[in-house]
Amino acid sequence: VIFHEKTASELVAALQPDVYVKGGDYNLAILPEAAVVQAYGGRVEFVQIEVPSSTSAIVERILAGRGDRV
């Protein structure tokens, strides 16, 4: 799902998943969506990341491989 906001709070509020999962590099104190999930009675879970990755890094690698064809 692509969203243009800085956080997924609005999307999470609209979808209201029973469980919202983030990587273990996050915690409740730094997760903006946590308050939204807890407000509607959802649960926030954190999972251990086996291979560190970021969406931005993936996009950068894709664009770097395309050269001037972007």
Residue 10, pLDDT score: 95
d(C-alpha 8, C-alpha 33), whole Å: 6
State the pLDDT at residue 21.
95
Q: List, in sequence order, every residue forming a beta bridge with 46; answer none if it has no partner.
A: 22
Beta bridge partners of 23: 47
Question: What pLDDT score was predicted for residue 41?
Answer: 98
Please give the model's pTM, rounded to 2 decimal places: 0.68
Q: Which residues contact 37 (CB under 8 A, 6 or more apart)?
A: 12, 17, 20, 43, 44
Is the separation of the CB atoms in 56 and 30 below 8 Å?
Answer: no
Q: In this model, does residue 33 exceed pLDDT 90?
A: yes
Query: Three-class SS of residue 40?
Result: coil
